[in-house]
Amino acid sequence: MSTLISEFRKIISTKFWWVLTLIVAGYVAMTDSILAFAASMAETMGDMGTGQEVMMPQGEEFALFVYSSGASLCYVFPAILGALIVNSEFRYQTITPTFLAQPRRGRVLIAKLIVALPFAALTGVVLVATSIAAGGGVLALTDQITGLEEPKVWEFFLRVVAAMTIWGLVGVGLGALIKNQIAAIVGLLGFTQFLEPILRLIPLFTGEDYQFLQYLPGAVNDAISGVSMYSVMMPSPSETLSLPIALAVLAGYALAFTIGGYFTTFRRDIS
Amino acid sequence: MRVEINHLTKRFGSVKAVDDLSFTVEPGKVTGFLGPNGAGKTTTLRAALDLIKPTAGNVTFDGKRYREIGKPMKQIGAALEASSFHPGRKAIDHLRMLAPAVGAKQAQCLKVLEFVGLADAAKKPVGQFSLGMRGRLGLAATLLGEPKVLLLDEPNNGLDPEGIAWMRSLLREMASKGCAVLISSHMLSEVQLAVDDVVIIAKGKLVHASPLSELADMAGEQTFVVPAYGEGFETLCRTRGWNFHRRGYGFEVVGPSAQEIGHVCYVEYLELHQLSSQSQTLESVFFAMTENQEAAS
Ligand SMILES: Nc1ncnc2c1ncn2[C@@H]1O[C@H](COP(=O)(O)OP(=O)(O)OP(=O)(O)O)[C@@H](O)[C@H]1O
Ligand SMILES: [Mg+2]
């Protein structure tokens, strides 16, 4: 218990948790409102005489599409938050006093996982609130359907918070596995923002479906939230995991990274 | 609480940072843990605190390993390098983050901060602290749990003369309350006034352990020798186990009298150009001891 309180105080006495939460809010406010606004322009201007049939969802499906635009990218922020909870201790060597206070290192790692939960969940809640305010606000102002009375939309919001929360745990595990702060964050961003999107586009060119693609972290994230930018972009949306399986897979990533980190970083000499 | 270092060995790759080191830190005494840079002082302390895993041997506190002590910070206060702080965290928050481990409240955190002279800096981020202030904050953290053992790595680092005097009186007071205190330093003169016992290491090996007074007795007996052939004389010192320290063309030899040296050289057919008794400082005894150990390895 005392280790938990220590870990909680460590987070709130630094800035990164609210800085990352603010970034989520800013990012979502931007993407959601731009998308909602652009749609209203497109509607008033018609199809701009190109004669092309644009495959755009309608009504509350479109509202969901707007809300998901931030969500399908913002999961990296709770992951960075989780990673920093571990990495900053090694970067500034505060891991020394931490292990002096609690020499049972496994307990420190478990405490970090537990305290990451509320902070990661907060990024999810802030994301949803911003989505409603910015995306919903612009949709309403431009006389489009906000979908805010639809249970389906609220289920989506709940799923997003769940996904963001588990991403916090994935981050803690990743931070434990990759001790170096810069390496951990570059690795996280590089994989999720660059490598994975490329991998997920492969079926578009080969025409084949690859089973492993649905287990990639970003695809799992989409499966949890239930709405994906990719499913809109792809001509034939590939299979996605069911919600319970997707939750389990993401939690599995967190668990595997954490165990890996425990047996490497947390077992090593601190000098 | 008695601290026992038992045949401690730690290798880093091919480097033996600590080599079969054994000594005891007695309760009620201040022990100076001395050795030149790289001697293995910090490594010994880290091994004692279960931060690094010894290659062999161990360190116990009243028979228990650090990790076997429940709430260890209530028994053992340890401060290592002065850099173990998050630069964005306020001083008071650094203590508040450690406080749950010893069951201390906010008032206790403020009290120790005031005690180490940082009351005015409580709300400042540690990134703005000077080296001496960081040292004081590290010390405040060790005192939070009112420990029975203090292990301090170079506690005088960055302190002004006033701070060093203050530190000395603090250590003496802790010892008089029955605390076992160990302070490391690479300068005997820096801790000479504060310690009861001295433990000297070099290259990871124990060179000398005794009360300070015994070390002081060894001072004053030093002979300055200028041999015709330095190498021959050096070999002689080694085989006889005399501690020596090269100075210029000559050798400062600690231990044997000038008479004894002269006699042995005569018997061994070693030509001497100069042989004179000198009085010697404590510091040069220390130098002679650590240098010999380094040359021998
Ligand atoms: N993590 C490490 N990896 C490799 N070698 C190390 C490591 N830590 C210490 N060493 C080596 O172990 C030896 C002892 O180092 P240590 O820091 O214990 O010395 P010290 O007595 O504290 O020196 P100083 O007075 O400079 O603080 C040195 O040769 C050092 O290079
Ligand atoms: Mg050192």
3-state secondary structure of B292: helix
Least confident of A169-183, A219-233, B139-153: A219-233
pLDDT tens-digit profile of A87-144?
999 999 999 999 999 999 999 999 999 999 999 999 999 999 999 998 888 888 887 7
User: Which residue intervals of chain A are DSSP H helices?
Assistant: 2-12, 16-44, 59-74, 76-91, 95-101, 105-130, 137-141, 151-177, 181-189, 196-206, 217-225, 229-233, 243-263
Q: By alpha-carbon position, which residue is closest to atom 13 of ligand 1?
A: B17
- Given the structure tokens 């989505």, which residue do they identify? A131
3-state secondary structure of A257: helix
Contact B268, B238 (CB under 8 A): no
Whether residue A79 has pLDDT greater than 50:
yes
Query: What local confidence, expressed as pLDDT, does residue B220 receive?
Result: 64
The mean per-residue pLDDT over the stretch B151-160 comes to 91
The mean per-residue pLDDT over the stretch A204-225 comes to 81
Q: How confident is the model at residue A259 (pLDDT cuts 50, 70, 90)?
A: very high
Q: How confident is the model at residue B279 (pLDDT cuts 50, 70, 90)?
A: low
A229 CA to centre of ligand 2 in angstroms: 55
Rounded Cα gap, residues A97 and B137, in angstroms: 12
With a pLDDT cut of 90, the percent of chain B lying above it is 72
The mean per-residue pLDDT over the stretch A155-164 comes to 91
Whether residue B284 has pLDDT greater than 80:
no
Q: Which of A96, A104, A108 to mutate to test the interface with B (most CBs of B within 10 A)?
A: A96
Q: By alpha-carbon position, which residue is closest to atom 24 of ligand 1?
A: B37
Q: Give the pairing of strands B180-185 and B222-227.
A: unpaired
The mean per-residue pLDDT over the stretch A234-245 comes to 69
The mean per-residue pLDDT over the stretch B161-187 comes to 93
CA atoms lying within 13 Å on the CB side of residue B19: 16
- Stated as kind and residue range, the H or E segment containing B138 is helix B131-143
B39 CA to centre of ligand 1 in angstroms: 7
The reply to whether B85 touches chain A by the CB within 8 Å rule is yes
> What token pair was written down for B127?
């990134």
User: Do the Cβ atoms of A15 and B96 come within 8 Å?
Assistant: no
B32 CA to centre of ligand 2 in angstroms: 14
Residue A271 with chain B: CB contacts under 8 Å: 42-43, 46, 51-52
User: Do the Cβ atoms of B97 and A88 come within 8 Å?
Assistant: no
Smallest CA-to-CA distance from B45 within B92, B83, B82, B78 is with: B78
Chain A residues with CB-CB distance to B under 8 A? 1-3, 5-6, 9-10, 13-15, 88, 92-94, 96-97, 99-104, 269-271
Whether residue B117 has pLDDT greater than 50:
yes
User: Does residue B230 or residue A241 have the better pLDDT?
Assistant: B230
Could you tell me the CA-to-CA distances from A61 to A93, A149, A172, A232 in Å, in that order?
Answer: 49, 13, 34, 11
Query: What local confidence, expressed as pLDDT, does residue A51 receive?
Result: 46
Query: What local confidence, expressed as pLDDT, does residue B287 receive?
Result: 79
User: Do the Cβ atoms of B97 and A6 come within 8 Å?
Assistant: yes
Rounded Cα gap, residues B277 and B284, in angstroms: 14
Whether residue A243 has pLDDT greater than 50:
yes
Contact B157, B136 (CB under 8 A): no
Q: How confident is the prediction for chain B on average, in pLDDT?
A: 91
Residue B97 with chain A: CB contacts under 8 Å: 6, 9-10, 13
Rounded Cα gap, residues B230 and B251, in angstroms: 9
Smallest CA-to-CA distance from B256 within B222, B283, B291 is with: B222
Whether residue B93 has pLDDT greater than 80:
yes
Query: What local confidence, expressed as pLDDT, does residue B102 receive?
Result: 94
Q: B51 CB less than 6 Å from ligand 1?
A: no
Whether residue A23 has pLDDT greater than 90:
yes
Contact A43, A139 (CB under 8 A): no
Q: How confident is the prediction for chain A on average, in pLDDT?
A: 86
State how far residue A175 is from chain B, nearest Cα, in angstroms: 17
The mean per-residue pLDDT over the stretch B161-178 comes to 93
Contact A135, A145 (CB under 8 A): no
> What token pair was written down for A103?
């020499």
**Nearest Cβ partner of A269 from B53, B84, B96?**
B53
Whether residue B225 has pLDDT greater than 50:
yes
Whether residue B297 has pLDDT greater than 60:
no
pLDDT tens-digit profile of B39-69?
999 999 999 999 999 999 999 999 999 999 9
Rounded Cα gap, residues B2 and B44, in angstroms: 16
The conformation of residue B64, written as its DSSP 8-state character, comes to B
User: Does residue B6 or residue A34 have the better pLDDT?
Assistant: B6
User: Do the Cβ atoms of B100 and A6 come within 8 Å?
Assistant: yes
Query: What local confidence, expressed as pLDDT, does residue A49 receive?
Result: 47
Sign of the CA dihedral with B172 first, then A103, B202, and B187 last: negative
Whether residue A50 has pLDDT greater than 60:
no
The mean per-residue pLDDT over the stretch A3-13 comes to 96
Q: B14 CB less than 6 Å from ligand 1?
A: no
Query: What local confidence, expressed as pLDDT, does residue A238 receive?
Result: 59
Q: Determine whether B74 is exposed, middle or buried from the number of CB atoms within 10 Å of its CB (0-12, 13-18, 19+).
A: middle
